[in-house]
Amino acid sequence: MRRGDVRIHYLDRLPDGPAPVLVVPGYAEPAEEYGWLLSALAPRRALAVSVRGRGQSDAPPTGYRWEDHVEDVEAVVEDARLDRVAVISISRGTAYALGFALRHPDRVRALVIGDYQARHVGLAPAWAEHSLTDQIRSVPVTSRMPVHAVRGVQQESVEVPLWDRLAELRCPILLIRGGRPSSLVPDEALERYQRSLPGLEVVTITSAGHDLWSRDQARFVEIVTAFLR
């Protein structure tokens, strides 16, 4: 499907299935990286989006603001004709998922936050240079995203704090965090979530760091499906 001049690709498993779930992957992850999760969520209808610059979606020369990514999620929900949807966000995808949920609180029936804080992080130039030499699950970032898209994500990033807006959300929310030092939700961030969301459910996967599922996909699926039930 297209949003303006940009083609956005998404996967849609069991399009006639009930209780749709939309996965918003992390920073350099395409929708295909979550095919296993879409299959595990059956018989629910399960979708995953590749936001701009990732996977089979277009990588425009510019247009990598937080708002642009939020609108990519919005466009998939509209194109797939999802009235109400549960959303699973992974890492930086959380900022995009929260943006969508805050724009459309009545359309999000549940939200799973995967090891990320309630903010869209403004990125320093050094972040892009490090990212271009980094790997995610043994795949170089440069094999995952065009160089100009990586630089665009950094150059167009602006810090957007979302902590004070969490109370606007009306749906059940689950926060999954890792128990190892690489988790991006340390205890102080968890306490901040809990102050803003008194009904928040929290699960800590003690064997995981920021990457919640690579070590144990079955555990991740168990946690998510129990919450969605």
- Helix residue spans in the chain (DSSP H): 35-40, 66-79, 93-103, 125-131, 141-144, 147-155, 187-196, 217-228
- What would the two tokens of residue 38 be? 């879409």
CB 100 within 8 A of CB 35: no
The answer to whether 92 and 27 are in contact (CB under 8 A) is yes
Above 90 in pLDDT, residue 3?
no
pLDDT of residue 62: 98
Topology (CATH level 3) of domain 2-120+159-228: Rossmann fold (3.40.50)
For residue 43, CA distances in Å to 13, 16, 84, 129, 228 come to 9, 9, 17, 42, 12
Q: What is the mean pLDDT of the chain?
A: 97
pLDDT band at 2 (very low <50, low <70, confident <90, very high): confident
Q: Is the pTM of this model over 0.85?
A: yes
**Predicted confidence (pLDDT) at residue 140 exceeds the cutoff of 90:** yes
For residue range 56-93, list pLDDT tens digits in order.
999 999 999 999 999 999 999 999 999 999 999 999 99
pLDDT value at position 66? 98
Query: 83, 107 in Cβ contact below 8 A?
Result: yes
> Looking at residue 1, what is its pLDDT?
87
| pLDDT over 90 (residue 4) | no
Nearest partner of 186 among 169, 209, 218, judged by Cα: 209
Location of structure tokens 């708002």: 67
pLDDT digits 0-9 by tens, 171-226: 999 999 999 999 999 999 999 999 999 999 999 999 999 999 999 999 999 999 99
* Helical H segments across 104-165, by residue range: 125-131, 141-144, 147-155
> Rounded to 5 degrees, what are φ and ψ at 170?
-115, 5
